[in-house]
């Protein structure tokens, strides 16, 4: 069955996301109605750099959509990498949303955790702690941005939820190869059930915090995070074969990059070709690609998990 990815282009961030979700409504409504613990994970990597973070209007659009399908309390959970999480919630206007919506804010950096075994830079077992709030949620929504990254080329919906859920985020950096292997493994432990990428603007250059603004005026949404992230990476001008964790996930599905147009059905109001923009990569892209030196070993390890 073809994976659905909705692509919307327009001049209003809120309307773009709302329209993208409305196209998926028939596929989502019964699933969401049955869920007891729905979690939205925005990308608030920094409490002070607004360009690097999810806009409050994007969150408002998702909350309005969910409110039409469920009366359950919605958890908005994040664990910032720079600054305090509730400082980010406050600075970006998130906390004011409690006046209208049935929501709860959770700081994943201060959450209880469960341990899982991932890998160190030599591919030996290493214990990681993942937030229980994320693990116990039965419907995870990743509300991400299209940004370049200083370690894994791009950060999109999967990486948003995977790294934000870790107690010690720095531990994920197990060399150029280890980080990609660990992200691919985390995709199997805490995958998003719904991926939304607010591409009204993105970030190129030295992301994920200090890059430069790219205006795209798009929104992407889909239930299959790998398809959503693959389409987003393509729109940014990056090859799946250069993004280690996406490459591993593609291979486990027996997909190739060329299969995106064969395996993914693009819905919405605009064609892919009309939205493509070659993002300037991070200045250290060349060393990020060193994961390819371990490509066969990584693939062998991952396929055995």
DSSP 3-state assignment of 199? Answer: strand
- Both structure tokens of 105: 């804010």
Identify which of 60, 63, 59, 20 has the alpha carbon closest to the alpha carbon of residue 43: 59
Query: Which pLDDT score is estimated for 272?
Result: 96
- Tell me which H or E stretch contains 236: none
E strands, the chain, where?
3-9, 38-42, 74-78, 103-107, 113-119, 125-131, 139-144, 147-148, 154-155, 194-204, 212-222, 264-268
Q: How far apart are the C-alpha atoms of 142 and 273, rounded to whole Å? A: 25
Q: How far apart are the C-alpha atoms of 160 and 81, rounded to whole Å? A: 11
**pTM given for the model:** 0.98
Identify which of 90, 93, 89, 66 has the alpha carbon closest to the alpha carbon of residue 79: 89
Averaged confidence pLDDT in the chain: 97
Q: How far apart are the C-alpha atoms of 217 and 64, rounded to whole Å? A: 20
Q: In angstroms, what CA-CA distances link 238 with 6, 107, 121, 279?
A: 19, 32, 25, 8
Tokens 């940004």 belong to which residue? 147
- Both structure tokens of 68: 């039409």
Give the chain's count of helices (H) and strands (E).
Answer: 12, 12
- Both structure tokens of 126: 């290493």
Read off the pLDDT band of 98 (50, 70, 90).
very high
Tokens 């964790």 belong to which residue? 245
Q: How far apart are the C-alpha atoms of 26 and 9, rounded to whole Å? A: 21
Q: What is the mean pLDDT of residues 113-124?
A: 97
Read off the pLDDT band of 10 (50, 70, 90).
very high
Q: What is the mean pLDDT of residues 169-176?
A: 96
Query: Which pLDDT score is estimated for 128?
Result: 97
Read off the pLDDT band of 6 (50, 70, 90).
very high
What share of the chain in percent tops pLDDT 70? Answer: 100
Read off the pLDDT band of 265 (50, 70, 90).
very high
- Tell me which H or E stretch contains 248: helix 244-252
Question: What are the b/e assignments for 209-242, b being 16+ CB within 10 Å?
Answer: bebeebebbbbbbbbbbbbbbbbbbbbbebebeb
Under 8 Å between Cβ of 196 and 18: no
Query: Which pLDDT score is estimated for 261?
Result: 86
Say yes or no to pLDDT of 259 above 90.
Answer: no
pLDDT digits (tens, 9 = 90+) for 219-254: 999 999 999 999 999 999 999 999 999 999 999 999
Q: What is the mean pLDDT of residues 127-147?
A: 98
Query: Which pLDDT score is estimated for 22?
Result: 98
pLDDT digits (tens, 9 = 90+) for 41-57: 999 999 999 999 999 99
CATH fold group of domain 3-304? Rossmann fold (3.40.50)
């Amino acid at each position: 069955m073809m994976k659905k990815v909705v692509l919307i282009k327009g001049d209003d961030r809120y309307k773009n996301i709302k329209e993208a979700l409305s196209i998926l409504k028939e596929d989502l409504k019964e699933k969401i109605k049955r869920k007891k613990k729905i979690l939205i994970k925005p990308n608030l990597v920094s409490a002070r750099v607004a360009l690097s973070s999810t806009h409050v209007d994007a969150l408002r659009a998702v909350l309005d959509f969910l409110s039409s399908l469920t009366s359950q309390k919605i958890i908005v959970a994040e664990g910032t990498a720079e600054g305090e999480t509730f400082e980010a919630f406050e600075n970006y206007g998130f906390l004011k949303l409690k006046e209208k919506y049935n929501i709860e804010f959770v700081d994943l950096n201060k959450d209880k955790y469960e341990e899982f075994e991932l890998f160190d830079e030599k591919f030996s077992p290493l214990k990681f702690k993942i937030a229980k709030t994320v693990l116990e949620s039965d419907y995870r929504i990743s509300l991400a941005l299209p940004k370049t990254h200083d370690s894994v080329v791009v950060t999109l919906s999967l990486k948003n939820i995977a790294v934000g859920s870790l107690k010690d985020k720095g531990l994920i950096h197990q060399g150029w190869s280890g980080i990609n292997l660990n992200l691919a493994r985390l995709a199997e432990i805490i995958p998003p059930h719904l991926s939304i990428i607010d591409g009204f603007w993105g970030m190129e250059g030295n992301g994920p915090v200090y890059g430069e603004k790219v205006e795209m005026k798009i929104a992407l949404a889909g239930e299959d995070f790998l398809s959503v992230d693959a389409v987003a990476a393509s729109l940014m001008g990056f090859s799946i074969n250069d993004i280690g964790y996406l490459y591993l996930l593609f291979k486990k599905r027996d997909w190739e990059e060329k299969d995106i147009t064969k395996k993914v059905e693009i819905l919405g109001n605009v064609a892919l070709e009309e939205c493509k923009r070659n993002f300037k990569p991070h200045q250290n892209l060349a060393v990020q690609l060193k994961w390819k030196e371990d490509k066969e070993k990584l693939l062998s390890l991952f396929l055995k998990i």
